[in-house]
Chains A and B, each alone.
Chain A
Amino acid sequence: MPRLYYTRHMHTDDMSAIAHAVCLTNLTYRYPGRTRAALEGVSLCIRQGERVALLGPNGAGKSSLLKIIAGLLHPPNPDMAQVFETNIDTCHPHTSFLAQRTDVDWRFPVTVRDVVMMGRYSHLGWFARPGRDDDKAVDAALEQVGLSGLARRSIGDLSGGQQQRAFLARSLAQHARLLLLDEPFAGLDAPSQRSIMDLIRELQQQGMTVISSTHDLGSVVTGDVADRVILLNRNVVADGTPAEVMQPDVLRQAYG
């Protein structure tokens, strides 16, 4: 029986021929009913395998930009935003979006394994049940983030860092190629932040593109979060290596 996928995008794991993970052209976005645009004239391209930090003050449009790339918000003109060189008309199966920690109900009755299995759902579609391949993908993802021993625990019993890793494992099980992280370090203690940063770097070395939003200037300066920093304040204020962007006069343009 043919599978009924949730989206009509191709599910293929071979995307090595595509150069760009994200391309935005003069992207403008305004929330319905608001007079001021959340994003205005944003143009940028991100190659596959880059590790990018979106930096900017509150209300700079970091979350909006991530949600547009994730396909959760729709730009006025579909040509303005491309993921893997196709217009973002529906959600692409190989991008993965991790919401802020505060958006998740941690009392929910699911195990770590259940959460990681949710990454497989986009490959299953309607009515299909997880099979042996899905179990294998979940096991491998849990192994890579170091949570195999905690697979049967409730998600709420884990520490903040372990919860974040479980969600990264879900992206791995999904076979995501583009990881969109909204404030992934917020609310975590320093050792947990460290371990998540190490894990993100490991994923990048395997060819994953990672875009994370953050307002933590300190970790961006040291280059632990990203190789490339995009300073955002409704438009692109600066774009370059951490050393280039993290200059007082450059930051002042965004933070005022």
Chain B
Amino acid sequence: MANFLLEPLANGFMQRGLAAGLLVAIVCGLLGCFVVLRGMEYIGDAISHSVLPGVVIAYIAQGNLFLGGLVSALVTAAIISALSREGKLRDSTAIGVVFTAALALGVLLISTARSYARDLSHFLFGNILGVTGGDLVFTGLLVLFVAAAIFLFFKELLVTSFDPTHARKIGIPVNAIRTGLLITLALTIVAGAQTVGVLMVTALLITPAAAASLLTKRLPRMIVYATAFAVASVFAGLYASYYLEVSSGAAIVLAASLFFAVAWVVNWARQRRMALPAT
């Protein structure tokens, strides 16, 4: 057993990959709860897809893919916010219009590249074994930032998520908090892109938090469970990808889906037991 666990770690790239994956899992578990509770799943998905044009431009210009993706994600989030704040469009409509445009721009730019770019496929589907020292430092700082922000602003995050009207009423800057969350979301998505790919990073935000929400009705506990599920998914997915030689990103996401299924069954069994008459 010990050998089974330790063997993959003999490689330096596997150690870095695992470390980066775990850091991403922690940040996704923490932040994912608020994404799910505030109904921001769709905008998260939109931001992750809109990373593409920035990455392609950075690739063509031979710049930093990471930075390109981040700028692209932030610009998209800002445009969506501006469009839906006017009140002329529903949020989901503004998101649909903007992210499909960004995605199309990305695809268009890719089609101008002469050869299909291997680095780009890493960004789309994740390449956890290509994690660099710089990626690790960035993700580590992000974990510290998100954990500190949730600790310091827990009250404000709680009340703006549960009852934004009351929050505004008592003077909390609801829009500033939403903007802060969007920026953090963009940073997290770009950080997670290396691990599971931009196409699947929102799964790591949403699925563990959704599983946690089925098991507890207290927010602090939900955050702990979601983080635990995300970490376990990265572990399980990485080992599966090593031994079965399958895509690490897909294996991680499917592991998270499996945890969700288990949580669903546990929740279903609990409700059934409660519904039964006491004998």
7 A-B residue pairs with Cβ-Cβ distance under 8 Å, sorted by A, are A71-B169, A72-B169, A91-B171, A103-B165, A109-B222, A110-B158, A174-B170
Least CB separation from B168: chain A residue? A72
A156 within 8 A of B: yes
> Which residues 26-76 of B have a CB within 8 angstroms of A?
37
> Which residues 93-113 of A have a CB within 8 angstroms of B?
93, 95-97, 99, 103-105, 107-111
B159 within 8 A of A: yes
B residues at A contact (CB < 8 Å): 37, 86-88, 152, 155-156, 158-159, 161-163, 165-166, 168-172, 213, 216-219, 221-222
B88 and A96 within 8 A (CB): no
B219 and A109 within 8 A (CB): yes
CA distance A126 to B157 in the complex (A): 12
* Residue count of chain A within 8 Å CB distance of chain B: 35
Least CB separation from A118: chain B residue? B159
Q: Tell me whether A6 and B152 are in contact in the complex, defined as CB-CB below 8 angstroms, given that A104-B163, A109-B222, A156-B217 are known contacts.
A: no
For the complex of A and B, the 5 pairs showing the least CB-CB separation, nearest first, are: A6-B171, A7-B171, A122-B170, A154-B217, A99-B165
Least CB separation from A100: chain B residue? B165
Least CB separation from A129: chain B residue? B155
Q: How far does the Cβ of A95 sit from chain B's closest Cβ, in whole Å? A: 7
CA distance A32 to B86 in the complex (A): 9
A32 and B152 within 8 A (CB): no
Q: Tell me whether A6 and B219 are in contact in the complex, defined as CB-CB below 8 angstroms, given that A32-B87, A121-B155 are known contacts.
A: no
A residues at B contact (CB < 8 Å): 5-7, 32-33, 70-72, 90-91, 93, 95-97, 99, 103-105, 107-111, 114-115, 118, 121-122, 124, 126-127, 154, 156, 170, 174
CA distance A246 to B161 in the complex (A): 40
Q: Tell me whether A109 and B155 are in contact in the complex, defined as CB-CB below 8 angstroms, given that A7-B171, A99-B165, A118-B163 are known contacts.
A: no
A108 and B169 within 8 A (CB): no
Q: Tell me whether A33 and B217 are in contact in the complex, defined as CB-CB below 8 angstroms, given that A6-B170, A7-B171, A121-B170 are known contacts.
A: no
Least CB separation from B172: chain A residue? A6
Chain B residue numbers with a CB within 8 Å of A105 are 37, 162
Chain A residue numbers with a CB within 8 Å of B162 are 104-105, 108, 110, 115, 118
Which listed residue, A70, A71, A109, A126, touches B217 by the CB 8 Å rule? A109
A33 and B170 within 8 A (CB): no
CA distance A211 to B156 in the complex (A): 27
A70 and B87 within 8 A (CB): no
Least CB separation from B165: chain A residue? A99
CA distance A170 to B170 in the complex (A): 12
Least CB separation from A157: chain B residue? B217
B168 and A91 within 8 A (CB): yes
Q: How far does the Cβ of B188 sit from chain A's closest Cβ, in whole Å? A: 21
Q: A93-B171, A109-B221, A121-B159 given. 19 additional CB < 8 A pairs?
A: A5-B171, A32-B87, A90-B171, A91-B169, A95-B169, A96-B169, A97-B165, A97-B169, A99-B165, A108-B161, A108-B162, A109-B219, A110-B158, A110-B162, A114-B158, A118-B166, A121-B156, A122-B170, A154-B217
Chain B residue numbers with a CB within 8 Å of A108 are 37, 161-162
Q: Tell me whether A97 and B171 are in contact in the complex, defined as CB-CB below 8 angstroms, given that A32-B87, A156-B217 are known contacts.
A: no
CA distance A156 to B87 in the complex (A): 30
Q: How far does the Cβ of A53 sit from chain B's closest Cβ, in whole Å? A: 21
Chain A residue numbers with a CB within 8 Å of B87 are 32-33
Which listed residue, B152, B159, B171, B213, touches A127 by the CB 8 Å rule? B152
CA distance A5 to B172 in the complex (A): 9
Interface centre among B162, B166, B218, B221 (most CB of A within 10 A): B166
CA distance A186 to B170 in the complex (A): 24
Q: How far does the Cβ of A18 sit from chain B's closest Cβ, in whole Å? A: 20
CA distance A95 to B166 in the complex (A): 10
A109 and B213 within 8 A (CB): yes
CA distance A6 to B217 in the complex (A): 28
Q: Tell me whether A122 and B171 are in contact in the complex, defined as CB-CB below 8 angstroms, given that A97-B166, A104-B163, A109-B37 are known contacts.
A: yes
Q: Tell me whether A93 and B165 are in contact in the complex, defined as CB-CB below 8 angstroms, given that A109-B222, A110-B158, A156-B217 are known contacts.
A: no
Chain B residue numbers with a CB within 8 Å of A32 are 87
Chain B residue numbers with a CB within 8 Å of A170 are 166
Q: How far does the Cβ of B180 sit from chain A's closest Cβ, in whole Å? A: 14
CA distance A170 to B159 in the complex (A): 12
Chain A residue numbers with a CB within 8 Å of B155 are 121, 124
Chain B residue numbers with a CB within 8 Å of A71 are 169
Least CB separation from B163: chain A residue? A104
B218 and A109 within 8 A (CB): yes
Chain B residue numbers with a CB within 8 Å of A99 are 163, 165-166
Q: How far does the Cβ of B264 sit from chain A's closest Cβ, in whole Å? A: 15
CA distance A5 to B201 in the complex (A): 37
